[in-house]
Amino acid sequence: AKQRGKASFVRYVDGMGEPVLAHMQLGAELRRAVDEGELRVVYQPIHRLDDNRVIGVEALVRWQHPERGVVSPAEFIPAAERTGLIVPLGRFVLRETCRQAAAWLAEFGPDALQEAGLNVSARQLHDPDFVADVTAALAESGLPCERLVLEVTESAVLRGQQVSRTLSELDRMGIRLALDDFGTGESSLSLLRAFPAAIVKLDKSFVDGIEVDDGRPAAADARQAVARAVIQLARALGLDTVAEGVESAEQAAVLRELGYTLGQGYHLAEPMTAGEVSRVLARQQAM
Ligand code: C2E
Ligand code: CA
Ligand code: CA
Ligand code: CA
């Protein structure tokens, strides 16, 4: 069997010519990762686009595999969802993020960080213990509920009654919900009516190329039309917005002109360790 690269779990089975995921092995290794503490959380800052100040972070999980090195979530989150391991994995990220965010607030004061966000899968929203897990993580850490943002995708939200009930309950608790990858789903607009979102995160695919001048007047630029429509909609509904995947100063400038106040992306900051975030916050506090 061929291997697609060192950090990959995709195997090619001889003779069949089809890639087959090594479900069993990945599942077992992931179980070990959760149990033995091989998971880490890194944080990508969310910046104000006018003065570049960091106002929040998004927690992103990493797997520090003993032989394969750092494995990206794109590779193991789907398997974690299939096997149900996303529930203990997600609980780890939740507790760790709440603990860390509370520590930053204690060290740098209430103005240091408005919010800490983390990603929640559909499977977690189906877990009857999810609300209790969130309540416990907030109580344990002392993080005020309004500082926590739970990021969910449209497809997760569209998973029926149980999920809707869970989301309404979290909303009632004062936790802010963000619609992640906004605009990539099929029913973004109708969804916003039913879902108690506080934030929409404009998907990276609408930020890619937004700065390109195609020779037409700005108002006619298709690349900017979606980003403009999203911010108008968000304003009308009283939602905050974050533009994702900002990779250049030019993109940040166009987004700012369109009315976006917050952005996240490699141009602003890459995901970093908690220690690195602390240094950023310390520097900001001194300014
Ligand atoms: P996402 O929630 O959309 O997170 C943003 C992803 O885009 C992150 O990838 C981030 O590192 C990357 N990114 C940020 N800025 C830029 C940029 O300027 N350019 C480009 N090309 N990429 C950028 P990452 O960390 O590999 O995570 C991938 C996905 O895995 C996440 O997408 C999220 O759906 C999922 N994920 C990550 N951590 C967790 C977790 O703790 N729980 C769950 N359920 N899913 C997670
Ligand atoms: Ca996200
Ligand atoms: Ca996203
Ligand atoms: Ca995305």
Q: What is the pLDDT of residues 215-241, one digit of tens each?
A: 766 555 777 888 999 999 999 999 999
Rounded to the nearest integer, the mean pLDDT of the chain is 89
Q: What is the pLDDT of residues 120-174, one digit of tens each?
A: 999 999 999 999 999 999 999 999 999 999 999 988 887 788 898 999 999 999 9
Strand arrangement, sheet containing 10-12 = 2-3, 10-12, 19-21
Please name which ligand lies nearest the alpha carbon of 271: 1
Q: What is the pLDDT of residues 12-58, one digit of tens each?
A: 444 443 334 466 678 888 999 999 999 999 999 999 999 999 999 99
Looking at the predicted structure, is the pLDDT value of residue 7 above 70?
Answer: no
CA 60–ligand 1 middle distance (angstroms): 6
Ligand 1 pocket test, candidate residues 38, 60, 86, 89, most atoms within 8 A of CB: 60
CA 69–ligand 2 middle distance (angstroms): 23
- What pLDDT sits at residue 221? 76
- What pLDDT sits at residue 267? 98
CA 72–ligand 4 middle distance (angstroms): 14
Kindly list the protein residues whose Cβ atom lies closer than 6 A to any atom of ligand 1. 44, 60-61, 72-74, 77, 86, 90, 93, 118-121, 180-181, 245-247, 264-266, 271
- What pLDDT sits at residue 3? 45
Q: Give the Cα separation of 29 and 10 in Å (integer).
A: 14
- When pLDDT is averaged across residues 97-104 and rounded to a whole number, the result is 98
CA 204–ligand 4 middle distance (angstroms): 6
**Distant-in-sequence, close-in-space partners of 34: CB < 8 Å, separation ≥ 6:** 85, 88, 89, 92
Please name which ligand lies nearest the alpha carbon of 74: 1
Looking at the predicted structure, is the pLDDT value of residue 258 above 60?
Answer: yes
Q: Are 200 and 230 in contact (CB under 8 A)?
A: yes
Please name which ligand lies nearest the alpha carbon of 246: 1
Given the cut 0.90, state whether the ipTM is greater than it. Answer: yes
Position in ligand 1 atom list of the atom nearest CA 121: 44
**pLDDT over 70, % of the chain:** 89
CA 242–ligand 1 middle distance (angstroms): 14
- What pLDDT sits at residue 217? 62
- What pLDDT sits at residue 52? 95
**Where does the pLDDT of residue 1 fall: very low under 50, low under 70, confident under 90, or very high at 90 and above?**
very low
